[in-house]
Amino acid sequence: GINAEYGVSQKPNHHNHLHPKTKSSRMPSFESLRETPIDEIPQIVYNLHQVFNSNKTKPEEFRRAQLEKLLDLIENSREDIYQALAEDLRRPSFESYAGDYLAVKNDVVEALENLHHWMAPKCVAKPLPNLTDKAQVIREPLGVVLIMGAWNFPFMETLKPLVGAIAAGNCAVIKPSELAVSSSNLIARLVSQYLDDSCFQVVTGGVEETTTLLKQKFDHIMYTGNSQVGRIIMRAAAENLTPVTLELGGKSPTVVDSNVDIIASARRIVWGRFFNAGQVCVAPDYVLCLESIHDQLVAEMKKAIIEFYGSDPSISPHYSRIINQRHFQRLKAILNADSSDDDAKKQPADVIVCGGEMDEDTLYIAPTIIDQATLDSPSMNEEIFGPVLPIISVASISEAIDVIRSRPKPLALYVFSNDAGVVERFKIETSSGGLVVNDTLLHAGIQSFPFGGVGESGFGAYSGRTSFETFSHAKSFLQRSFAGSALDFLRFPPFNESKLGWYKYAAERTLVGKWGQILRKVGWWTSIGIATWAVVHLIHRRGGCGGCVGFGWLKGCPGRSLIGFSSAPSATTPVLNK
């Protein structure tokens, strides 16, 4: 596969891909990648296991202190992060703010505010025989976890999972992508500067370093990248029975219905597609639009591109560049193939209606829209992961659904529609990591959302509390006492029929059905009502609320005699009767 590179490069000699950058004029402060020596890696991981076994990372105070340090890290180095991303991707600081800085910072704050609550054991419901027992779910750390980030959001993809890893009490190895060189170096420097380096280590490097790293035993691996490397990681993890979370990409479809606000839709799609020059795993990958609004949509998209990036995006400070030469060539190949009409397959000619310009020296590809694309177009073969947006006309919503369902499950699905019926159909009939109606990308910014894919787009999720859960083990805890042991004989041999009957009676849950449930609820609320009523009566009778006029109406209540309260005058009642 050609986009195998994001995450871990598959070619052993990754220096070649980095090389062209040195010549590029856009990188005045080019740094070379600092790599961890391969023979040190086993020792690093071993040391972390030792530290974890010493219980250092488990106390709440330690986790809190490290999270506060992480907060300092992100707050103090905002400008450095902007700078590193500008060097790696020439990304505008606004996008670095929203995509990397904000995502990490809000997650740290969320963790700091809720850590105590997350860590607390949760009591669960118990069946009758266990009524006197204590049943809890305890969240405990897993051990040493590995976090492997991709290059498109190098800080978010490493530090945001790290928040969960720290909050859950783990030690962690962070492996930033070697393709975002400046970011990788900065992450290595910042983590060792701010966090406890006996518990959190950054390993940098390419394929060899990663391969060595994957041979070590971890207690969880979280990988962000592509599905080919995802497979390699899961195979490696299988050797040590290590659970994995795979955050992969995929071709996220965008469907535009005919009844929408076309201008707003076009702007939202263009923003989502060309954010970070399309190098976003949840970016809208292709558009399926109804024929009736096709022309208007394309026109509005063109307008939006000019409005956003000006008539010449190459001089706009708000538009990013492609990460490296290899990805540039991959995208170039897609564009060239898509625009040639003497293709061997004799497809209908795809039309580049906007953009298409590129500059190899600065790794620039203009925001490009390919109109009249078909499902067989080269741009529809695999995730584009660049500033190219194919548009396919469909005759109906059903056709759009068929297209989506005939392909691997995507990480995100964007639907623009004002028709509740259409939205409902997508909700039920399609499967994707996330489903966003009438906007793009924004779900990734909501912390309470589990962020993750399904099928080819990955499994497992993180963000906010979900990260904490991903990096912790839910231990069942049941504490019994010796007090109820007289009943033990019911489950001990020698067995007989009457024992079984008793045990079943106590332990077997019977089906109550809909009416049973309603009755249960009615019973529950009635008993609460009766209890409240009784309490009110008691207070009333004891005269504890003698001065309280609110209970005056109770004095003539016929129920009092029914539940056994004497209506005979006592020392206190005359006061009330006045």
Q: According to CB under 8 A, which residues from 479 to 498 bind another protein?
A: 479-482, 485, 488, 491-496
The residue range among 2-10, 50-58, 175-183, 537-545 that interacts with another protein, by the rule CB under 8 A, is 50-58
Specify the DSSP class assigned to residue 377.
Answer: S
Q: Which is nearer to another protein, 2 or 112 (CB)?
A: 112
Does position 568 interact with another protein (CB under 8 A)? The reply is no
Does position 383 interact with another protein (CB under 8 A)? The reply is no
Contacting another protein (CB under 8 A), which of 356, 439, 536, 539? 439
State both tokens at 70.
């992480």
Contact set for another protein, span 314-333 (CB under 8 A)? 316-319
Does position 437 interact with another protein (CB under 8 A)? The reply is yes
Pairwise CA distance, residues 331 & 321, whole Å:
12
Which position among 171, 281, 289, 354 bears the catalytic label?
281
Does position 257 interact with another protein (CB under 8 A)? The reply is no
Show Cβ contacts of residue 100 under 8 Å, excluding neighbours closer than 6 positions: 81, 85, 153, 154, 155, 156
Contacting another protein (CB under 8 A), which of 2, 44, 112, 557? 112
Closest to 262 measured CA to CA, from 285, 289, 242, 240: 289
Contact set for another protein, span 224-243 (CB under 8 A)? 227, 230-231, 234-235, 237-239, 241, 243
Contact set for another protein, span 77-96 (CB under 8 A)? 92-95
Q: Which is nearer to another protein, 500 or 531 (CB)?
A: 500
Pairwise CA distance, residues 388 & 391, whole Å:
10
CB 398 → another protein: shortest distance, Å? Answer: 13
The residue range among 129-137, 325-333, 345-353, 532-540 that interacts with another protein, by the rule CB under 8 A, is 129-137
Work out the burial of residue 138: count CB atoms within 10 Å of its CB; fewer than 13 is exposed, 13-18 middle, 19 or more buried: middle
Q: Which is nearer to another protein, 110 or 209 (CB)?
A: 110
Does position 557 interact with another protein (CB under 8 A)? The reply is no
Which position among 5, 95, 178, 247 bears the catalytic label?
247
Per the annotation, the verdict on 239 as an active-site residue is: no
CB 314 → another protein: shortest distance, Å? Answer: 14
Cβ atoms of residues 35 and 207 within 8 Å: no
Per the annotation, the verdict on 281 as an active-site residue is: yes
Contacting another protein (CB under 8 A), which of 63, 268, 327, 540? 268
What single letter denotes the amino acid at residue 398? S
Does position 109 interact with another protein (CB under 8 A)? The reply is yes
CB 54 → another protein: shortest distance, Å? Answer: 11
Pairwise CA distance, residues 255 & 404, whole Å:
10
Pairwise CA distance, residues 193 & 399, whole Å:
54
Contacting another protein (CB under 8 A), which of 434, 462, 470, 576? 434
In sequence order, what E strands does 346-430 have? 351-354, 358-359, 364-365, 368-371, 388-394, 412-416
CB 199 → another protein: shortest distance, Å? Answer: 17
Work out the burial of residue 497: count CB atoms within 10 Å of its CB; fewer than 13 is exposed, 13-18 middle, 19 or more buried: exposed
Contacting another protein (CB under 8 A), which of 17, 21, 69, 105? 105
Show Cβ contacts of residue 241 under 8 Å, excluding neighbours closer than 6 positions: none
CA distances from 256 to 11, 264, 282, 389 (A): 39, 12, 17, 14
Does position 71 interact with another protein (CB under 8 A)? The reply is yes
Specify the DSSP class assigned to residue 14.
Answer: T
CB 534 → another protein: shortest distance, Å? Answer: 30
Contacting another protein (CB under 8 A), which of 2, 375, 403, 423? 423
Q: Omega into 243 within 30° of 0, i.e. cis? A: no
* Residue 455 Ramachandran class (φ > 0 left, ψ -120 to 50 alpha, else beta): left
Does position 524 interact with another protein (CB under 8 A)? The reply is no
The residue range among 327-335, 391-399, 500-508, 564-572 that interacts with another protein, by the rule CB under 8 A, is 500-508
Contact set for another protein, span 447-476 (CB under 8 A)? 448-452, 454-456, 458-461, 473-476
Report CA 89 to chain centroid distance, whole Å: 23
Q: Point out the residues that are catalytic.
A: 247, 281
